Amino acid sequence: MKNFLIPALAFVSAIGMSFTTANTKEQASDYVLLPNDTWRAFSEVDCGQGEQACQAMVDGNGPFQVYDEQDTDTPKEGSGTLIIVP
């Protein structure tokens, strides 16, 4: 009985766990570093093509440099167009 029950329980558990991670799609984000040293995330924006700094207005304040990650070593580049973030 043990030889059947343990593999059967493992099989059922594996199937059950597969449903717990079905929708884990990570959403792309860009970030700005606010003056109070906090990061603000928002949906990824298209800064265009180019080598100029991508900057954004956040809640009417700014402009702030846009970053790909929460790291000041990864500034986002673009055409220099100012992005408005609500």
Q: Cβ neighbours of residue 61 under 8 Å, at least 6 residues apart? A: 34
Q: How many Cα atoms sit within 13 Å of 6 on the Cβ side?
A: 3
**What pLDDT, on a 0 to 100 scale, did the predictor assign at position 25?**
62
**pLDDT of 86 over the 80 cut:** no
Chain segment 14-50, per-residue pLDDT in tens:
888 877 765 656 676 889 988 888 998 888 888 888 8
Mean pLDDT of 60-65: 87
DSSP 18-83: HTTTTT-PPPPEEEEE-TTS-EEEEE-----SSSEEPEEEETTEEEEEEESSSSTT-B-EESSPEE
Structure pTM? 0.62
